[in-house]
Amino acid sequence: MHASAVKVQLQLVQGLRYSTAPALADWTGKNCVDLLDYGLAKPDKQVQDRAMLIKQIFPISDVRVPAKRKRTLDPAKVQEIAEDMLENGQTTPIRLRSAKTGFVLIEGFHRLEALRALGEDMVEGYLVRAQLH
């Protein structure tokens, strides 16, 4: 098989897979960053979508909590998280997905409610894509 026709998958230290365009034999042993810099590799799209979460700030008023999730509210847990947030701030972002209007909470209900209890109007979170089955 000709070396330029070989398609390889590379493993980066962070665990991201990269797929290359037709690889050249003289690039054997190079790391993904080198291949990316020369335009010979691109991030594997499926892995990139899962791995590239970027922390953002969202208005709490734009976050909708599903009714089923609202029934799981534990006021003691909200109080405990709120007290921790007073000392340390929000250390773990919530996860949201886009909706027709605003966002739908995926993960972090008690953190969101703790911020509301503290009178905050913004929340740190990750915007995730709904998984297709």
Pick from 132, 128, 113, 118: which is nearest to 69 by CA? 113
The H-or-E segment that residue 56 falls in is strand 55-59
Return the pLDDT at 8.
40
The pLDDT, as a whole number, for residue 107 is 94
Alpha carbons 84 and 80: distance in angstroms, whole number:
6
- Which regions in the chain score pLDDT beneath 70? 1-52, 130-133
In this structure, are 66 and 44 located in the same domain? no
132 part of a folded domain: no
The whole domain housing 59 covers: 55-127
Q: Residue 39 contacts by C-beta under 8 Å, 6 or more apart in sequence?
A: 21
CB atoms < 10 A from the CB of 78, how many? 20
Cα 46–chain centre separation: 13
The pLDDT of residue 129: 80
pLDDT at 130 (0 to 100): 65
My answer on whether 67 and 85 are in the same domain is: yes
pTM: 0.61
Q: What is the pLDDT of residue 54?
A: 84
